[in-house]
Copies of this chain bind each other. A is one copy, B any other.
Amino acid sequence: MDTKTEKKYRIGDFAEVTGLSSPTLRYYEKEGLIKPHRTENGLRYYTDQDTDWIKFLLHLKSTGMTIEQLKQYVDWRAEGDSTIDKRVALLEDVRSNFEKEFDNLQKSWTILNDKLDWYKGKVNGHIEDSESFAAYLKRLNHEE
C-alpha cells in the first residue's frame, strides 16, 4: 500500500530540473547546502523535496546570501526549532541589506533610462547638443 512513490532523480536529471550543473550540485553538497540520498551502489539521487529546497536556496542566493550564510542557515535548520529565532534574524538581516541594494538598483535603472533618453534627445535634436548629461539630470531632478 505505498501511498506515495517518490520520484528519484539522478544528478544529471536533477541538474536539468534545477537549472544547475552537475558539478555545481556536487559543489553545493561539498559546501553542506544539500544532502542527496544514495542508491545502494553509491550513486546520488534527489527527490521533489530537494527541488523545493534548491529553488528556495536559489532565491535566497539572489537576494545576496553567500554560500557561507546558506550553510549557516542549513546547519541551524538541522538543529531544529530551537534555532528559529536565529534563522529569522539572519533572513531579516539579508532582507534589510537587499532592500538597500534594491533601492540603489532602482536609482541606477532611472539613470540608465535618463541616459538613453538623453541620447535620443540629442540625436533627434530636441536636447541642445551643448547640454551635458549632468545638466540634463539636474534639470530632471535626478542627480545625486
Contacts and interface: CB of A to CB of B under 8 A. Distances in A.
Interface of A: 52, 55-56, 59-60, 62-63, 84, 87-88, 91-92, 94-95, 98-99, 102, 104-105, 107-109, 111-113, 115-116, 119-120, 122-123, 132-134, 144
The oligomer's copy count stands at 2
A88 B116 CA distance: 7
A112 B63 contact: yes
Contact of A59 (B84, B95, B107, B122): B107
Nearest to A105: B62
19 contacts: A52-B132, A52-B134, A59-B112, A60-B108, A60-B112, A62-B104, A62-B108, A63-B105, A63-B109, A84-B123, A87-B119, A88-B116, A88-B120, A91-B115, A92-B116, A94-B112, A95-B109, A95-B113, A102-B109
Given A84-B123, A122-B84, A133-B56, A95 B116 contact: yes
Contacts of A122: 84
A125 to B, nearest CB: 13
